[in-house]
Structure 1
Amino acid sequence: MKIDYSAFPDRSIACIDMMSFYASCMAVLHDLDLRTVPIAVVGNLEQKGSVVLAASPAMKKRFRVKTGTRLFEIPQHPEIRLFEPKMKYFLDMSMAVTNILSKYVPNEAVHVYSVDESFIDLTGTEKLWGPPEQTIKEIQKEILDTLQLHSTAGMGPNMLMSKLALDLEAKKTGFSKWTYEDVQTKLWPVSPLSEMWGIGSQNEKTLNDMGIFKVGDIANTPLELLEAKFGVMGNQLYHHAWGIDLSELGAPIISKQISYGKSQILMRDYNKVEEVKAVILEMCEDVAKRARDSFQAGRTISLGLGYSRNAFGGGFNRSRTIQEATNDTMKIYRVCLDLLKENYVERPVRQLSVAITKLENEHSMQLSLFEKQKWKKRQLATAMDNIRNRYGSAALLRAVSYTPAGTAVKRSKMVGGHKG
C-alpha cells in the first residue's frame, strides 16, 4: 500500500530544542564551558536521594551521570560542579528564546512545547529570510550568540515529522530535515517502538505481542486491526507510522487534553499509611481543581505508588472506572483510598501519582436524585478554586497540608516543583 501525500499538509515546520537546557543555563550563569565542564543540576543538594534534572555532555561522557541519576551516585571529583535548579531563571531564559523566534515569524507561528522545546512554522517566510533550512540555522546561531545556548533542530512538513527528525536524527547531528519521502527509509526501520514519539512501554508491549516490532510494521498493519485493538489511538498509530499529522500549531500532535494528573517524588520515605493518605488527598485536590477549571470530569481514576529504594523499590499503578464522571475532590480521593487499601503493602513510600482519564464535559453530568447537595458542593468548590486562582495555591488548604506529612505548603513556594 502507498499513501498519496499530495492530500496532506506540506509545510516548513521546525522543532527546536535547547541542548541540556538546565545545565546550559547554569553554565551561562556561572561563566562555565558547557562542552568541557562536568555540570549536574540536582533537585535538592541536601538530600542524597535527590535526582539529577540535567547533566552537561562532559558529565554524561566522563562520569556517566545523566538525568535520573541520584545525588549519592555522583562520584566525588574536584572538577564536578553541582547546582540546584533556579526555575525562575530557567523560565526567563526560555522566554528569551521565544522572543528570538518571534523576531522571524508572527507570535501565532510559534508554539512553546516545553520549557526547552518549541515549534516554529516558517512556511511563507522565504521572501523575507530565504530558505527555511537556512533560517533555522540563523536562528540557532542567534540563540548561541546572544544567550550562549546550544540547540538542535528538526524540520518537516508537519509537527510530527519535525519532532521525529529532531528526536531521531538532529540530536546527533545538530540539524535534520525530513520529508514524506524519508518516511520509509528513516522512520520505518525505527526499533524498539518506544523510540517512536507517542509510543509508551505498555503500547510497545501490546504491539510486540501482535508481532509488530518496527514502525514499518505498524504502517503495514491493516488499519481496521489497529483500531479494533487500540480504538482511536490505533488510527493515530497507523497514520503517524506513515508520517501523517493534521495537528494545528498550538495543539501539538495530540489535539486535546486526555487526562489530568499529578505525580511527585516525596522528600523522604513515608512509613505510615496515614501520611501517604494525606499526600494523596492533596494531590486529588490539585487534579480535581485543574479538571474543574476546564469544566471537565473523568470516569477513570488512577493511583500510582512507588516504594523506596531502601525497601527494594517496586510499586503499583492501578485504575478504577466509576459509573459517573466526576471532578469532586472527595469522590476521587475515596476511589484512591480503595485502590490503596487493595494494593498497598507496609513498606516505605517515596513516589505517588494520581490521575483522572476518560474525560467528558462536566455539563453532561447528570444530577443525581440521591445527591441533593451535589450542586452546592460544586459551587463551594468553584468558590475555593477562585480564591486559589487569585491569591495562590496556598491561600486555601486542607488541614492535612499543615501536618508533618503535607507537601502542599512547601510546593506552593516552588516553580515547576523546584526552587525558584
Structure 2
Amino acid sequence: MYENLPRRSVMCVDMRCFYASCMASWAHLDVEKEAIAVVGNFQQKGSIVLAASPIMKQRFQVKTGTRLYEIPKHPDIHLFEPKMEYFVRMSVEITKLLNSYVPKEAIHVYSIDESFVDLTGTEKLWGDPVETAHQIQDELYRQFEITSTVGMGPNMLLAKLALDLDAKKTGFAKWDYEDVEKKLWPVTPLSKMWGIGHRTERTLNNMGIFSVGDLAHADLATLEKHFGIMGNQLYYHARGVDLSKVGEAPLIEGQISYGKSQILMRDYNTKKEVLAVLLEMCEDVARRAREAYKVGRTITLGISYSKNAFGGGFQRSRTIDEATNDTMVIYRVCQQILNEQYNERPVRQISISITKLESENSMQLSFFDATRWRRRKLGATMDQLRTNYGSSAVLRAVSYTDAGTAIKRSKLLGGHKK
C-alpha cells in the first residue's frame, strides 16, 4: 500500500529539557551535571515544575509537574523562575540555525522547542540527510549548549512518532513505512501515539480497539461514523500515512477548534466571579476565531471544582443554529450551561472552546438581527486595537474587578513571567 506514497526526508527535532537547558546556559551551569528545575512561580507553594534537568530527576525525583513544596531543601539544587522572553529568543535563534540548512518553507515550528525540517533535496548541498540531521544536532549543541533528539521519517507523522516513541531513548531514530508493522502497531495504550488523547482512547477501547495495530485493522466506515473526518485520519495515521507537507500544514489539516483553558490563581466562590472570567475567556476565543475568519456552531464549557471541595466538575456542549464568532453570543451560551450545571462549589479551572468551524463567508445576514454586522465590525476594531497596542489596550469592565484576570495575564508570556 506504500508504493505510491511520497518518501521524503523529514526530521522532527526536539530540544531536550529546553527550559532547564536555557536557564543553565543563562546561569553558566551544565544542565547534564547540575540539579536544575524551572518553577512557574516562587510566590505560590503549589506552583509546578515546568522543566527539570536529568540529575534533578534522577537524584531528587523532581520532574515536570512536581509541586514547589515537594522539592527538597538542598544546597545542590538550583531553582529558577521561567524567563519566557529569553526562551522565545532562544527558540527564534534555533529556527535561524535550521534556516541556514533549508529555506523557511521547509520548516514547520511545532512548539517553542520542537520543529519539523524537510531535508528532501538537500543532498547536493549537505550530503546524506541522516548525516545532515546529525550535523544539525552537533551544531545546535555547539552554538546553544542544548542537546537535541531527532526522529526521521518519510513524512511528518512518522518523523514525529520516531521521535516520541524511539529517539527520546537513544537521541536519534529513523522510521520508514516498512517499520510501521513492527514498531508502531504494538504500541499500547493508544494515548502513547501522537494525536490520540485519553478521551479518544476511551472511546476506541469501548469499540474493542486497544493497540495501534487494532486501529490499523479496524473498519474504516465504523471509525468515520464515530469520529467523522477524524476517524479517517486515525485509520491512516495508524498505518503511517500522512500526506501533509512541511511548511504548508500541521499534522492535522486545518484548525478544528478554538479554545482556552485557565487555572485560576485562587478558588472562585460565586457565580458572579466565574462569569467575569468567562466573559474574558469568551473574548479571547472569539478574537482568535475572528482573526482567522472562522465561525463555530458548537460551544463547550468545562468547569473543574477546587480540590478543597473534593474536586470534580463538568463539561457540556451546546450546538446553536447559526455559527458565530460573536463574543456575547458565545458568552450567553456558556452562561446558560453554567446556570444549568453549576452547583455553587468553588471553581479552580475553566475551559471554553468552539468547534464545528466553517468559513465566516458562509455566515448569513439575518433580517431579524440588524445589528449583527455592526457588532462584527466593532469586534474587529477592538481586535485591531489589541493587536497594535497590547492585549490590555481595550478591556471589558469585568476585567477591572477583583475577579478579572486579563490585566494580570497581559503581563505574562506563555502564562508565565516575561
Q: Output aligned runs, 1:375-394, within 5 Å.
A: 375-394=373-392
TM-score, structure 2 as length reference: 0.97
Q: Are 1:237 and 2:237 matched, yes or no? A: no
Displacement of 1:274: 1.2
Displacement of 1:352: 1.2
Structure 1, 172-181 or 271-280: larger mean CA deviation: 271-280
* Local SS of the residue matching 2:336: helix
Displacement of 1:384: 1.3
Instruction: Look up the match of 2:42.
Output: 45
Displacement of 1:269: 1.8
Once residues 269 and 38 of structure 1 are traced to their aligned partners in structure 2, the CA distance between those partners, rounded to angstroms, is 33
Q: Are 1:13 and 2:25 matched, yes or no? A: no
Displacement of 1:409: 0.7
Displacement of 1:97: 0.8
Once residues 291 and 86 of structure 2 are traced to their aligned partners in structure 1, the CA distance between those partners, rounded to angstroms, is 28
* Local SS of the residue matching 2:416: coil
Which of 388, 396, 404 aligns to 1:406? It is 404
Q: Are 1:284 and 2:282 matched, yes or no? A: yes
Structure 1 residues 212 and 260: alpha-carbon distance in aligned structure 2, compared to 1, 3 A threshold: same
Post-superposition Cα deviations, 1:223-268, rounded to whole Å, max 9, x if no partner, equal 1222122211111011101100000112121120111111111122
Gaps of 5+ in 2: none
Instruction: Look up the match of 1:253.
Output: 251
Instruction: Look up the match of 2:58.
Output: 61
Once residues 263 and 95 of structure 1 are traced to their aligned partners in structure 2, the CA distance between those partners, rounded to angstroms, is 26
Instruction: Look up the match of 1:34.
Output: 31
* Local SS of the residue matching 1:198: coil
Displacement of 1:164: 0.2
Instruction: Look up the match of 1:359.
Output: 357
Gaps of 5+ in 1: none
Instruction: Look up the match of 1:228.
Output: 225
* Local SS of the residue matching 1:6: coil
Which of 183, 186, 189 aligns to 2:186? It is 189
Structure 1, 21-30 or 340-349: larger mean CA deviation: 340-349
Instruction: Look up the match of 1:262.
Output: 260
Structure 1, 221-230 or 111-120: larger mean CA deviation: 221-230
Which of 312, 318, 328 aligns to 1:320? It is 318
Q: Match for 1:417: what amino acid? A: G
Post-superposition Cα deviations, 1:383-414, rounded to whole Å, max 9, x if no partner, equal 11121111111110001101111111111111
TM-score, structure 1 as length reference: 0.97
* Local SS of the residue matching 2:120: coil
Aligned residues: 417
CA-atom RMSD, angstroms? 1.2
Instruction: Look up the match of 1:81.
Output: 78
Which of 197, 201, 209 aligns to 1:200? It is 197
Once residues 308 and 70 of structure 1 are traced to their aligned partners in structure 2, the CA distance between those partners, rounded to angstroms, is 17
Post-superposition Cα deviations, 1:145-192, rounded to whole Å, max 9, x if no partner, equal 110011100000000000000000000100000001100000000000
Which of 120, 143, 152 aligns to 1:155? It is 152
Once residues 36 and 310 of structure 2 are traced to their aligned partners in structure 1, the CA distance between those partners, rounded to angstroms, is 29
Displacement of 1:308: 2.0
Displacement of 1:64: 2.4
Instruction: Look up the match of 2:341.
Output: 343
Q: Are 1:209 and 2:206 matched, yes or no? A: yes
Structure 1, 366-375 or 94-103: larger mean CA deviation: 366-375
Which of 158, 164, 169 aligns to 2:166? It is 169
Instruction: Look up the match of 2:114.
Output: 117
Q: Match for 1:51: what amino acid? A: I
* Local SS of the residue matching 2:414: coil
Q: Match for 2:283: what amino acid? A: E
* Local SS of the residue matching 1:297: strand
Displacement of 1:319: 1.2
Q: Are 1:180 and 2:156 matched, yes or no? A: no
Structure 1 residues 382 and 152: alpha-carbon distance in aligned structure 2, compared to 1, 3 A threshold: same
Once residues 344 and 47 of structure 2 are traced to their aligned partners in structure 1, the CA distance between those partners, rounded to angstroms, is 23
* Local SS of the residue matching 1:397: coil
Q: Match for 2:312: what amino acid? A: G
